[in-house]
Amino acid sequence: MSYRIIVIATLMVSAVIAPETLAQWGGPVKVTVASAELRKLPMTSTLVGTVEPLRRSIIGSEIAGLVEEMPARQGDFVTAGALICKLRDRTESLQLAEARERLKSLQALERKWQFEKQRIADLYDAQDAADKEVYDTEAEFDQARFAVSAQEVVVARLETELAKTEIRAPFSGYVVSRRAEVGQWLTMGGDVVELTDLSSVLVRVDVPEQAIAFVQPGNTASVFVEGAGRRFAGEVCHVLLQADPTARTFPVEIVVKNPWYIEVDGLRLPRGVVRQQRGEFLPDEKADSSTDAALLAGGMFAKATLQTGPASESVAVPKDAIVSRNGVEYVSMVVPGKEEGSLMAIPTSVTTGIDMDDWIAITSGNLAPDTKVVTTGNESIMFPSPVVVVAPARPGAASAVATEPTSSTEEVGS
């Protein structure tokens, strides 16, 4: 649809709305605006994909045994090293205790022959011992020393076997399925739990063969996740150069940092876990209930926008101009109102492309260069609304926006 048609339609809407109706809405919304610009941005494509965990593993048992404890349950978050399953260890404990006692006996024998070796050496120096006595005591001491070393290896092996009765998480993540239960006999290599790491997620998309040459690891990508209702910054991490012979597409993986996780003492932990430990909401959750802490989980539907062609001029707007509602992205265009000097903001659905720095491309073709768009206050514009353009807050000033109209008002209305 041509952007001229959009502007004409919005003017018609603003003409229909009476001033008394606007007064009922509580007066004009105070906004700041920016102009859409032509910028040289890479050609992009939006591809559908699926959110997958950064790591997924089915944890198995290294030894056979009877499950005695199973503290991990579905949905639990476990940190690396946490106990997820305990096997009965009575036999292993007794074998280790026996081996340690045997080691003590051999160490005592080693000390005895060490003393005897030194005594015979002193006698030999005093010419009171024969060469054979020296040779025999050295051999006995060596045998005792080697026996101690061998038994130390036995003890270490049995300690390892005992440690294997405690199955621990190899990395931090969520338990998504529980494959064993208390009282169950596990065979060697038997499944215990399935664990997923969601601290970052992978979005897997299929890129057409005509575009794969432009997709390189390290390229930026913009990912919209319907379940989260917002867009995330991502980076191409894996390009699999083996096409699907049927579709002629190449699998590409994009890594996205999960905002549901926060840094705590050098670890990335889910907000829910940290909140439960502290017994209170986190500071950003107190300040704003619409915090960016959207949860990204495995299996979510995603649309990834990434470079699939050479750079060309595209209409772009500041990222703050984009508002997502129910999986649709909107830009509020500012146009003259019915009365002289008045302004209206008209929410318009758009399709976005790749982002660069603080700007994002508009690929739907319904936004012209130099169009004024709302960058602050657009969250409250749900339908055509009267607005007044105000100056943005100065750095270091109070958080409230100034209420005096700026020259932007004349520019929009001209």
Distance CA 378, CA 248 (A): 42
The residue range of the domain holding 121 is: 90-163
Please provide residue 376's backbone torsions phi and psi, each rounded to the nearest 5 degrees: -135, 130
Q: Which residues contact 269 (CB under 8 A, 6 or more apart)?
A: 77, 79, 172, 261, 262
Which of 187-191, 216-220, 293-297, 364-368 has the weakest average pLDDT?
A: 293-297
Least Cα distance to 319 among 9, 16, 36 occurs for 36
Residue 269 lies in a domain: no
322 and 375 part of one domain? yes
* Kind and range of the H or E run holding 154: helix 131-163
The continuous run of DSSP H or E covering 10 comes out as helix 3-16
Same domain, 324 and 357: yes
In terms of domains, do 180 and 250 share one? Answer: no
Residues 98 and 83 in one domain: no
Q: Three-state SS for 80?
A: coil
In a domain, 392, yes or no: yes
DSSP class of 386: E
Q: Which region among 178-182, 353-357, 394-398 has the lowest average model confidence (pLDDT)?
A: 394-398
- The pLDDT, as a whole number, for residue 21 is 44
Domain match, 209 and 244 both? yes
pLDDT in tens, 107-162: 999 999 999 889 888 888 888 888 888 898 999 999 999 999 999 999 999 999 99
Q: Span 192-218, mean pLDDT?
A: 94
Last residue of a domain, one of 146, 163, 180: 163
Give dist(CA 215, CA 197) in Å, integer. Answer: 26
Cα Rg of the chain, angstroms:
35
Does any domain span residue 404? yes
Overall number of domains in the chain = 3
- Name the phi and psi angles at 370, rounded to 5: 75, 0
Question: What is the reported pLDDT for 281?
Answer: 59
- State the CATH number of the domain containing residue 75: 2.40.50.100
**286 assigned to some structural domain:** no
pLDDT for residue 411 is more than 50? no
Residue 225 within a domain: yes
Rounded Cα distance, 296 and 75, in Å = 15
Say whether both 216 and 324 belong to one domain.
yes
- How far apart (Å, rounded) are the C-alpha atoms in residues 10 and 333? 9
**Could you report the per-residue pLDDT of 220-249, keeping only the tens digit for each?**
998 999 888 888 999 999 999 999 999 999
pTM over 0.75: no
What CATH code is carried by the domain that includes residue 246? 2.40.30.170
User: According to the model, what pLDDT value does residue 293 have?
Assistant: 55
For residue 305, give the nearest of 414, 413, 224, 184 by alpha carbon: 224
| 277 assigned to some structural domain | no
By DSSP bridging, strand 323-325 and strand 328-336 are antiparallel
pLDDT of res. 406: 43
Please tell me whether residues 30 and 18 are part of one structural domain: yes
Note whether 153 and 136 are same-domain residues: yes
Which has the closest alpha carbon to 212: 180, 188, 247?
247
Comparing CA positions, the residue from 110, 135, 108, 134 lying closest to residue 122 is 134
Same domain, yes or no, for 243 and 340? yes
Weakest mean pLDDT among 43-52, 254-263, 394-403: 394-403
| d(C-alpha 169, C-alpha 9), whole Å | 59
Quick one: 320 and 401 in the same domain? yes
In a domain, residue 135? The reply is yes
Specify whether 253 is located in the same domain as 124.
no
Q: Is the pLDDT of residue 405 over 80?
A: no
Task: Categorize the per-residue pLDDT at 41 as very low, low, confident or very high, splitting at 50, 70 and 90.
Answer: confident
- Both 225 and 330 in one domain: the answer is yes
**Rounded Cα distance, 348 and 155, in Å:** 73
Rounded Cα distance, 350 and 362, in Å: 7
Question: Is residue 276, in this structure, part of any structural domain at all?
Answer: no
HEC string for 92-148: HHHHHHHHHHHHHHHHHHHHHHHHHHHHHHHHHHCCCCCHHHHHHHHHHHHHHHHHH
What is the average pLDDT value for the chain, to the nearest integer? 84
Report the C-alpha gap between 244 and 100 in whole angstroms: 58
